[in-house]
Amino acid sequence: MTLNLVKLCVGVESVEDLQASIDFGLADKKSRGLEEIQYHTTRMVPKRLDELLDGGSLYWVIKGNIQVRQYIVEIRPFTDKADISRCRIVLEPRLVLTQWQPRRAFQGWRYLTVKDAPADLSEANAGLLKLPPELRRELADLGLL
């Protein structure tokens, strides 16, 4: 059974900012001859790996709302230079926009079931994407998105 993760996207103001950060990171890795993958490093290794790797996604909370997700490609546990266990969640760099779903602040990540995850934005909602991020946020705050 597929399972997802949800995590706060700290320091990012909009989906466009997240995409720019991903693009910059991949270009930097390419210029330095490193493996061109996008990942997010966490302290804890998820225990339910098989479910996450069965088509799961990482849903990003941006400015108090889940707004976007990325497919989870791989989970790579490792030990850092300070001998601390960590985990790289390897993600597909393509962002999938979702319907907005409010979320309170929390630390770390949380599991998110398929039934509780927001739906992807469809072609019918494509007009929302043309709105500036500030206007989308304001509409969401008013409960209109």
CA distance 54 to 74: 10
Domain enclosing residue 104, as ranges? 3-141
The helix/strand/coil state of 121 is coil
Q: What integer best gives the mean pLDDT of the chain? A: 90
Q: What pTM was estimated for this model as a whole?
A: 0.86
Q: How many helices (H) and strands (E) does the chain have?
A: 3, 7
Residue 115 has what pLDDT?
Answer: 96
The helix/strand/coil state of 36 is coil
Q: What are phi and psi of 136, to 5 degrees?
A: -60, -40
CA distance 56 to 72: 6
Q: How many residues does the chain have?
A: 145
Count of structural domains, the chain:
1
pLDDT tens, residue by residue, 43-75 = 989 999 999 999 999 999 999 999 999 999 999
